[in-house]
Amino acid sequence: MDKKHIRLDDLKKETPFVVPDGYFENLPQLIQSRIPNEVVRRPLIRWTWQRSVGLVAAMSFLLVMVWVTFPERQGSLGQEPLSKISDASIINYLEDQNISYYDLSEHQVVQKAFDTDSTVLYYLDGLDEDFIRQQVLESGSGSEKI
């Protein structure tokens, strides 16, 4: 095999393609003539009475499911239900659940309950003075002279 090198300068500079006369001037008219004049639009979905019944059934099912699964709101219990429970029962429950007085004191509801002086006095009324003094000294929040 003989390798022959081709030089670009040796090639003829002719265009091998021939375009008929007036081709690009007549091209838009040629394309327009192939497009149909009337565009027929058909609805994608035809509405029937079966679809109407199905839609009503689906909406009814959806409403029933929302009604059944929607949670009910519980109103405030008020003071009466809790007043029937004894303090000993509440203390036993807290001990069974492993909840200490310190855990309760961190909750905002309990802190609000002690906003008034009468609540604090009611809570401290049954406690021994020595116990109160010991708790104040342990927490370090009281004055040195009690």
* Domain extent for 139: 100-146
The CA-atom distances, in angstroms, between 141 and each of 105, 125, 136, 137, 145 are 15, 20, 6, 7, 12
Check whether 114 has a pLDDT greater than 50: yes
Residues 6+ apart with CB under 8 A from 137: 146
The set of residues, in sequence order, having a beta carbon less than 8 Å from that of 8 and lying 6+ positions away, is: none
- φ, ψ of residue 139 to 5 degrees: the values are -80, -20
Q: Is residue 122 part of a domain?
A: yes
64: in domain: no
In a domain, 144, yes or no: yes
Give domain status of residue 83, yes or no: no
Residue 40 forms part of a structural domain:
no
First vs last C-alpha separation in the chain: 118
- Specify the number of domains making up the chain: 1
Q: Report the alpha-carbon distance of residue 97 to residue 131 in Å, rounded.
A: 24
| pLDDT average, residue stretch 8-37 | 85
Q: What is the mean pLDDT of residues 114-139?
A: 74
pTM exceeds 0.75 for this model: no
pLDDT tens, position by position, 24-59: 999 999 898 888 777 777 777 778 899 999 999 999
Q: Does the pLDDT at position 115 exceed 80?
A: no
Flag the least confident range among 8-17, 66-75, 99-108, 136-145: 136-145
The amino acid occupying position 144 is E
